[in-house]
A and B are shown apart, each in its own frame.
Chain A
Amino acid sequence: MNWTWFHKLGSPKWFYEVTSKWMFWLALITVLLLVTGLVWGLAFAPADYQQGNSYRIIFVHVPVALLAQSCYIAMAIAGAVGLIWKMKLADMAAKVSAPIGASFTFLALLTGAIWGKPTWGTWWVWDARLTSMLLLLFLYFGYMALQAAFDNETTASKASSILALVGLVNIPIIKYSVEWWNTLHQPATLTFTSKPTMAPEMLVPLLISIVGFYCFFTLAFLMRLRAEVLIRENRTQWVKKLVQNDV
Chain B
Amino acid sequence: MSEVESIRPPTLWQSCRMILQRDLRLAFRNQSDLANPLIFFVMVASLFPLGVSPDTAFLSQIATGIIWVAALLATLLSLDAMFRSDYDDGSLEQLLLSPYPLYILVLAKVFSHWIVSGLLLTLLFPLLAVLLFLPWEGYPAMLASLLLGTPLLSLIGAIGAALTVGLKKGGVLLSLLILPLYIPVLIFGTGAVGAALNGTPYIGHLLWLAVFLVMAITMAPFAIAAALRISIAG
- Known contacts A142-B176, A155-B230; decide if A149 and B183 are in contact (CB<8 Å): no
Q: Which residue of B lies closest to A138 (CB)?
A: B180
Query: Total A-B pairs in contact (CB under 8 Å)?
Result: 78
Which A residues between 82 and 123 are near B, CB-CB below 8 angstroms?
83
Rounded to whole angstroms, the CA-CA distance of A145 and B159 in the bound complex is 15
A210 within 8 A of B: no
Per-residue B-contact encoding for A156-187, CB less than 8 Å = 1, 0 else:
00110011011101100110111011001000
Q: Which of A155, A165, A173, A180 neighbours the largest number of chain B CB atoms within 10 Å of its CB?
A: A173
Q: Which residue of A lies closest to B234 (CB)?
A: A155
A162 touches B163 (CB 8 A): yes
A159 touches B231 (CB 8 A): yes
B191 touches A184 (CB 8 A): yes
Smallest CB–CB gap between A12 and chain B, Å? 22
A166 contacts across to B, CB distance below 8 A: 159, 181, 223
B166 touches A163 (CB 8 A): no
Rounded to whole angstroms, the CA-CA distance of A162 and B176 in the bound complex is 15
- Known contacts A142-B177, A166-B181; decide if A180 and B230 are in contact (CB<8 Å): no
Rounded to whole angstroms, the CA-CA distance of A176 and B183 in the bound complex is 11
Q: Which residue of A lies closest to B169 (CB)?
A: A149
Per-residue B-contact encoding for A138-150, CB less than 8 Å = 1, 0 else:
1101100110011
Rounded to whole angstroms, the CA-CA distance of A244 and B62 in the bound complex is 65
A223 within 8 A of B: no
Rounded to whole angstroms, the CA-CA distance of A162 and B165 in the bound complex is 14
- Known contacts A162-B223, A177-B187; decide if A141 and B176 are in contact (CB<8 Å): yes
Smallest CB–CB gap between A119 and chain B, Å? 25
B64 within 8 A of A: no
Per-residue B-contact encoding for A64-82, CB less than 8 Å = 1, 0 else:
0000000000000000000
A83 contacts across to B, CB distance below 8 A: 226
B227 within 8 A of A: yes
A239 within 8 A of B: no
Which B residues between 158 and 192 are near A, CB-CB below 8 angstroms?
159, 163-164, 166-167, 169, 173, 176-181, 183-184, 187-188, 191
Smallest CB–CB gap between B155 and chain A, Å? 11
A181 touches B191 (CB 8 A): yes
B26 within 8 A of A: no
Rounded to whole angstroms, the CA-CA distance of A128 and B75 in the bound complex is 26
What range describes how many residues of A lie at the interface? 20 to 34
Smallest CB–CB gap between A99 and chain B, Å? 16
Q: Which residue of A lies closest to B190 (CB)?
A: A181
A162 touches B230 (CB 8 A): yes
B177 touches A174 (CB 8 A): no
A173 touches B191 (CB 8 A): no
Rounded to whole angstroms, the CA-CA distance of A149 and B167 in the bound complex is 7
B234 contacts across to A, CB distance below 8 A: 150, 152, 154-155, 158-159
A135 within 8 A of B: yes
B188 touches A177 (CB 8 A): yes
B178 contacts across to A, CB distance below 8 A: 142
Q: Which residue of A lies closest to B177 (CB)?
A: A142
B183 touches A174 (CB 8 A): yes
B231 contacts across to A, CB distance below 8 A: 155, 159
Q: Which residue of A lies closest to B226 (CB)?
A: A162
A177 contacts across to B, CB distance below 8 A: 183-184, 187-188
Rounded to whole angstroms, the CA-CA distance of A165 and B166 in the bound complex is 20
A163 touches B163 (CB 8 A): yes
A181 contacts across to B, CB distance below 8 A: 187, 191
Smallest CB–CB gap between B149 and chain A, Å? 12
User: Which 3 A-B pairs have CB atoms at the shortest separation, nearest pair first?
Assistant: A155-B234, A177-B184, A138-B180
A-B contacts, 8 listed (Cβ < 8 Å): A83-B226, A138-B179, A159-B234, A162-B226, A163-B159, A169-B219, A177-B184, A178-B187
**17 more CB-based (< 8 A) A-B contacts, given A135-B183, A167-B181, A178-B187:** A138-B179, A139-B180, A142-B177, A149-B173, A152-B234, A155-B230, A158-B230, A158-B234, A159-B163, A159-B230, A159-B231, A162-B223, A162-B230, A165-B223, A166-B181, A176-B184, A178-B183
